[in-house]
Amino acid sequence: MRQRNLLMAGVGAVIAAVLVAVAAATVGLSGSGIARPDIGIDRAANVAHGVAASYPGGGLAVDEVIEFSNGYYASIRERSTGVGAFEILIDRATGRVTREPGPDMMWNTRYGMMGGAYSGAGVMSVSSPQAQEVAQHWLDANQPGATARSPDSYYGYYTIDFEKDRKLAGMLSVNGYSGAVWYHSWHGSFVQVRDLGA
């Protein structure tokens, strides 16, 4: 009986220690309340560099890393052409990488999951200025007061940052063949940007 009690006490102590360790790793107290873990923009940039370097031939580089309230975003470009290859999201707590949903997966004719949905169309029929105009029309109707910046070209689509009060506020994409708009609703609020100049 005594051994059983000691065993139960030991198991209870181990469970308590694990719970305390998990709580300490994931929740820190600050003057404003509970703080969540965050890898920080420097580590997010390193993660993005690792993703770009993992592609054969060394032809990709990180263009920028943007911190949003829901996580980090990174744009990966081809060094030789300057065209965007793909976009990724980096989890702010774990550093886990996922491909950005929506346009990057569905419209990307070279690096996307659908890789060929529009591949027979050749050169994109929607020009960069037209994509910016389409984006501005969408913003006027859905995000009054927002201004579309110059588009970043990817294979099959454009991604366009937009600003409010002269600050980056979000992004959307325009299909390079149909002119369809896909708003990036998953980012949350803008925090900061790191331009890495690819």
| Same structural domain, 115 and 137 | yes
| Same structural domain, 143 and 121 | yes
Write the CA distances from 113 to 62, 120, 174, integer angstroms.
Answer: 20, 16, 17
Pairwise CA distance, residues 6 & 20, whole Å? 21
Share of the chain above pLDDT 70, in %: 78
For 146-155, what is the mean pLDDT? 97
- Write out pLDDT tens, residues 74-125: 999 999 999 999 999 999 999 999 999 999 999 999 998 765 454 445 789 9
C-beta separation of 64 from 75 below 8 A: yes
User: Quick one: pLDDT at residue 121?
Assistant: 53
Q: How would DSSP label each residue in 69-114?
A: TTEEEEEEEETTT--EEEEEEE-TTT--EEEPSTHHHHT-TTTSSS
Three-state secondary-structure class, residue 170: strand
Counting every residue written for the chain, the total comes to 198
More confident call, 21 vs 152: 152
More confident call, 178 vs 198: 178
| Same structural domain, 89 and 115 | yes
Pairwise CA distance, residues 31 & 47, whole Å? 30
Which residue range(s) make up the domain with 15?
2-35
Q: What amino acid occupies position 56?
A: P
| Same structural domain, 131 and 59 | yes
| Same structural domain, 66 and 135 | yes
| Same structural domain, 169 and 119 | yes
User: Quick one: pLDDT at residue 122?
Assistant: 73
Closest alpha carbon to 49 in 61, 38, 39, 40: 61
| Same structural domain, 146 and 171 | yes
Domain count, the chain: 2
User: Quick one: pLDDT at residue 33?
Assistant: 54
Regarding beta strands 181-183 and 190-195, do their DSSP bridges make them parallel or antiparallel, or are they unpaired?
unpaired
| Same structural domain, 183 and 93 | yes
As a dihedral over the C-alpha atoms of residue 73, residue 180, residue 177, residue 186, rounded to 10 degrees, the angle is: 10
| Same structural domain, 24 and 122 | no
| Same structural domain, 72 and 92 | yes
Chain-wide mean pLDDT for the chain? 83
**Number of other CB atoms surrounding residue 146 within 10 Å:** 18
Pairwise CA distance, residues 184 & 87, whole Å? 12
User: Quick one: pLDDT at residue 165?
Assistant: 92
| Same structural domain, 172 and 153 | yes
User: Quick one: pLDDT at residue 115?
Assistant: 55
- Write out pLDDT tens, residues 39-56: 999 999 999 999 999 988
* Cα within 13 Å of Cα(85), Cβ side: 21
| Same structural domain, 84 and 172 | yes
Q: Global pTM?
A: 0.78
Query: Does pLDDT of 22 surpass 60?
Result: no
Burial of 68 (0-12, 13-18, 19+ CB in 10 A): buried
User: Quick one: pLDDT at residue 114?
Assistant: 63
